[in-house]
A and B are shown apart, each in its own frame.
Chain A
């Protein structure tokens, strides 16, 4: 018999209760936040501090040598920006290096070669089980004990390593760059138009003939086009442009010893190098474990089937095991990327002027700790959320297969 729902008293009606609990929960959170906010305002008032963002536009009054050009007459806001760029620089390069090193050690740890797997195990266990601060404080002095500038370790007269850091050659835009970049721009525009046109043509005409389940989406057509159409068009434009431009667009700048220091090329400071090594080594130990777990999650039968069709061990790994391990690896890998980005704030211990270190300096000069820490928290949050959004997108893209319909 159908029960008339209007007869249920509201305190027993599941539908009402569900909403009610959520409303009570939200009100509770708001009250709690309000309490802390009032408390903070009271505290600040007692200390005679007024909340304001004016300090952002005032002169910084300190020097920064790392990253973008900055001197003491620039604003605090620009100092923040220098910090953001430094944090991004060490995080992005660190994530790139840690991923490669981590994959190598993760795969090595599963090697049937005793020496290789034990070496990988020792690496992972040492660097995973000691605090990162300790590791950074170990690498930094090690770099400072490298040879003096005049006795630099020299690779092919292009790469120099000394106690002031690492010097690498770099490409610098030259006279022809202003002309060349128009070729690049037109290459991009033509590529976009052609790819969109082709994707639309395929989507609306060609793909209609395919069976529904086998029909590629508009986005996958664009990705396919980007790979096979856009890239060749862009490269052609770049190469043609390079030869049609009368002047050279880029010159190679090699580091050269002038007076007491090297000039030209790019320079990684000892602080940056120590942070990069520290973050890479520490995070790669965790990534190695993530990769190992991912590979081990692929059942034994998959390897056996791959071997039975005659694939070599390297092909078994590359074509069968890794593609199935990736969806398992990506979510924990994302956590490791986020950890690396946040751990870059430990740069403050060796005076690597990342976002957090700069916030501390500004905090020491002004009394605006609340907005300062709100700003850096927001910055890290944006950085982290962007990273995880990208990784989630990537994860969705690669895990379409195997879902039973």
Chain B
């Protein structure tokens, strides 16, 4: 556990199931994330790890079980869904910046439209975030005019501008050129040290070992192993986990 982790649970998942038509993607996930915890979720592709974090802000609907985020249950109540989305920031593999808006407007859209902040206050906050991401000079450019690593940092700033309690990262570095991965990981590392609750789906095992409090290993829709990084990498219990670690660490 890191120095920021508390004992207050912030996300409670109980027996979460999800089907895509006949395909059973999530087969009963039960877990609790504590405030300030940093969890890294890994596993082979198709194991359901992305789907799992996407159920937490209702980008995917779970069909059985309960998910409670910050005391609000995710149900079909539209108001709850909107409340939770305001508390949960998300960063995507493909950045998904809005191409018709400048970088700063990408960031201020949520605060102005959802939080009803004034344009001036939202822009000041956005510039401060871009400063923190080390890309203040890119504020008035369009996303297409900056590099992938810079785009992903704008996307992180966009999520942070809503002042979320939880940040979800869905393979944030997988679409980046190798030399840009570290600039994004640096920002995530800094964020982790600031005490943010983070759920990160990633293949960056170095990052996981260094930053994570807990590593969850997904395979075929179930968590087959979860442990602190030291245990996970040095004493994996399952054969499947051993195979995965040996394959990912070869690279």
Residues on A facing B (Cβ under 8 Å):
211, 213-214, 301-302, 304-312, 315, 319-320, 323-324, 401-405
Contact = CB atoms under 8 A, between A and B. Distances in A.
Nearest to B102: A401
B55 interface: no
Contacts of A405: 145
A323 B99 CA distance: 10
Given A214-B140, A311-B114, A405-B145, A304 B109 contact: no
Contacts of B159: 308-309
Interface in B86-122: 86, 88-90, 92, 94, 96-101, 109-110, 113-114
A309 B92 contact: no
9 contacts: A301-B92, A301-B94, A301-B96, A305-B155, A305-B158, A308-B85, A308-B89, A310-B85, A324-B98
A305 B85 contact: no
B59 A310 contact: no
Given A309-B114, A309-B158, A315-B113, A320 B92 contact: no
Contact of B82 (A214, A312, A323, A324): A312
B184 interface: no
B241 interface: no
B77 to A, nearest CB: 14
Contact of B90 (A211, A308, A311): A308
B155 to A, nearest CB: 8
Interface of B: 57, 59, 82, 85-86, 88-90, 92, 94, 96-101, 109-110, 113-114, 140-145, 155, 158-159, 161-162
B110 A309 contact: yes
A311 B82 CA distance: 8
Given A301-B92, A304-B90, 17 more contacts: A211-B140, A302-B96, A302-B98, A305-B92, A305-B96, A305-B97, A307-B59, A307-B85, A308-B59, A308-B88, A310-B85, A311-B114, A315-B113, A324-B98, A401-B100, A402-B99, A404-B144
B156 to A, nearest CB: 12
A213 B89 contact: no
B180 to A, nearest CB: 16
Contact of A213 (B94, B98, B141, B158): B141
B144 A402 contact: yes
Contacts of B141: 213
Nearest to B54: A304
Question: Is the contact region of chain A dominated by helix, strand, or loop, or is it mixed?
Answer: helix
B14 to A, nearest CB: 23
A302 B59 CA distance: 12
Given A305-B98, A308-B90, A319 B113 contact: yes
Contacts of A315: 113-114
Contacts of B99: 324, 401-402
A402 B82 contact: no
B140 A213 contact: yes
A309 B140 contact: no
B115 to A, nearest CB: 8
B82 A310 contact: yes
Nearest to B59: A304
Contacts of A301: 92, 94, 96
A324 B97 CA distance: 12
B114 A310 contact: yes
Nearest to A304: B59
Contacts of A307: 57, 59, 85
Which of A213, A309, A311: most chain B Cβ within 10 A? A309
B110 A310 contact: yes
B241 to A, nearest CB: 30
Contacts of B114: 309-311, 315
Nearest to B89: A308
Contact of A311 (B57, B97, B113): B113
What are the 7 closest A-B residue pairs judged by CB atoms, nearest first? A309-B110, A305-B96, A308-B90, A301-B96, A310-B86, A310-B114, A402-B99
B109 A403 contact: no
A317 to B, nearest CB: 13
B172 to A, nearest CB: 13
Contacts of B90: 304-305, 308
Which of B86, B110, B158: most chain A Cβ within 10 A? B110
Contact of B142 (A304, A312, A401): A401
Contacts of A305: 90, 92, 96-98, 155, 158
Contacts of B140: 211, 213-214
